[in-house]
Amino acid sequence: VKQAGFYVLGGAAMPAILIEIGFLTNRKEEKKLGTAEHREALARAIYTGLAEYKRRYDQRMRTAQSAPARSAPASLPSR
């Protein structure tokens, strides 16, 4: 994963991701990107990844909310 100062990411007023799915300068990739079947497969893969991320995120949030709050002991235990 690389990080860069792309406006589409840093300037967005909401969470954002930038996904590069191929290079038009690569003839093989350009040909694949020209087919509806390949674009559909890419879209499904992106959706599946995002849906799984959200599922795991929601699960972590539910776990964090249901965990009892831990407080420091009022006094140190005696030895």
Give domain status of residue 3, yes or no: no
Give domain status of residue 14, yes or no: no
Contact criterion met (CB below 8 Å) for 42 and 21:
yes
Q: What is d(CA 7, CA 9) in angstroms, rounded to the nearest whole number?
A: 5
Give domain status of residue 78, yes or no: no
Q: In total, how many domains does the chain have?
A: 1
The string of DSSP codes covering 46-62 is HHHHHHHHHHHHHHHHH
For 31, the domain range is 23-65
Token couple for 9: 């990411």
pLDDT tens, per residue, the chain with 79 residues: 667 788 888 888 888 888 999 999 999 999 999 999 999 999 999 999 999 999 999 999 999 888 776 666 666 666 5
Give domain status of residue 16, yes or no: no
